[in-house]
């Protein structure tokens, strides 16, 4: 089978990419409006792209041709918190994918407890195993000729890591972290089966 992506609709291209490039980590992103209303939403086009400076990247698509609240808030304030999603938070994360009117908070609507961050204005999810407080390093519309999404390059300022996910040596224990990943369609996966290989 071969797919000529130049002949596919954007929806078809999305479906093929999202169901093959898997599993994808999920960025659970909190932001605030300039007047202080909190926002919380998940994004699975997300990855680490640099360790010097420590930088994460999120792709935020449009909704009905308009910028999503997470992007508008990040543009306006230059700050965001990126959480990783543990299995126990799967349902809560999914609930925050709801499309609310601008000015309404997913924290409140979904009953998710937030707490103040240390260096940025957006609150962080209180029971998140890992939360990265970030500043916006750069936002790039893509593709430049006819943007349908924006890439947020988020520099990590401070990380909150729950001691319960650390092993005896103070490193992350993947079993305790127990993250989920995104597959295609409505499917997700656990990170509960692992193996090791020694690099040559």
- Cα-Cα end-to-end distance for the chain: 33
Statement: residue 8 has pLDDT above 90: yes
Q: What is the 8-class DSSP label of residue 100?
A: P
Range of the domain at 38: 27-187
- Residue 193 belongs to a domain: no
Is the confidence at residue 65, as pLDDT, over 90? Answer: no
Residue 102 has pLDDT above 90, yes or no: no
Q: Identify the bridge partners of residue 50 per DSSP, sorted by sequence position.
A: 55
In a domain, 198, yes or no: no
What integer pLDDT is reported at residue 88 of this predicted model? 97
Check pLDDT > 90 for residue 59: yes
Is the residue at 14 inside a domain? no
Does residue 1 form part of some domain? no
Question: How high does pLDDT run on average in the chain?
Answer: 96
Average the pLDDT over 3-32 and give the result: 94
Res. 183: pLDDT tops 90? yes
> Could you give the maximum distance between any two Cα atoms of the chain, in Å?
53
User: Average pLDDT in the 11-23 region?
Assistant: 93
Looking at the 3D structure of the chain, how many domains does it have?
1
**What is the reported pLDDT for 138?**
98
148 located within any domain: yes
Give mean pLDDT, residues 61-69. 90
pLDDT at 52: 96
pLDDT reading at 173 higher than 90: yes
Q: What is the pLDDT of residues 121-169, one digit of tens each?
A: 999 999 999 999 999 999 999 999 999 999 999 999 999 999 999 999 9
In a domain, 18, yes or no: no
For residue 46, being part of any structural domain is answered with yes
Residues near 13 by beta carbon (within 8 Å), at least 6 away in sequence: 5
Q: Is residue 150 part of a domain?
A: yes
Question: For residue 67, what is the domain's CATH number?
Answer: 2.30.110.10
Question: Residues 63-100, buried b or exposed e (16+ Cβ, 10 A)?
Answer: eeeebbbbbbbbeebebbbbbbbbeebeebbbebeeee
């Amino acid at each position: 089978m071969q797919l000529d992506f130049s002949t596919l609709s954007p929806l078809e291209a999305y479906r093929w990419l999202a169901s093959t490039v898997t599993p994808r980590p999920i960025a659970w992103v909190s932001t605030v409006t300039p007047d202080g209303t909190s926002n919380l939403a998940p994004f699975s086009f997300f990855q680490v792209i640099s360790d010097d400076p420590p930088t994460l990247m999120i792709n935020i698509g449009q909704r009905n041709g308009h910028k999503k609240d997470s992007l508008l808030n990040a543009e306006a304030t230059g700050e965001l918190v990126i959480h990783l999603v543990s299995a126990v938070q799967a349902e809560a994360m999914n609930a925050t994918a709801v499309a609310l009117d601008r000015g309404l908070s997913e924290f409140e609507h979904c009953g998710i407890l937030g707490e103040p961050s240390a260096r940025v204005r957006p609150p962080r999810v209180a029971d998140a195993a890992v939360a990265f407080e970030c500043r916006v390093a750069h936002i790039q519309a893509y593709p430049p000729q006819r943007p349908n999404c924006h890439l947020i390059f988020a520099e990590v300022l401070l990380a909150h890591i729950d001691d319960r996910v650390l092993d005896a040596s103070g490193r992350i224990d993947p079993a305790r972290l127990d993250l989920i990943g995104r597959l295609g369609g409505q499917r997700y996966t656990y990170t509960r089966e692992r193996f090791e290989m020694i690099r040559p």
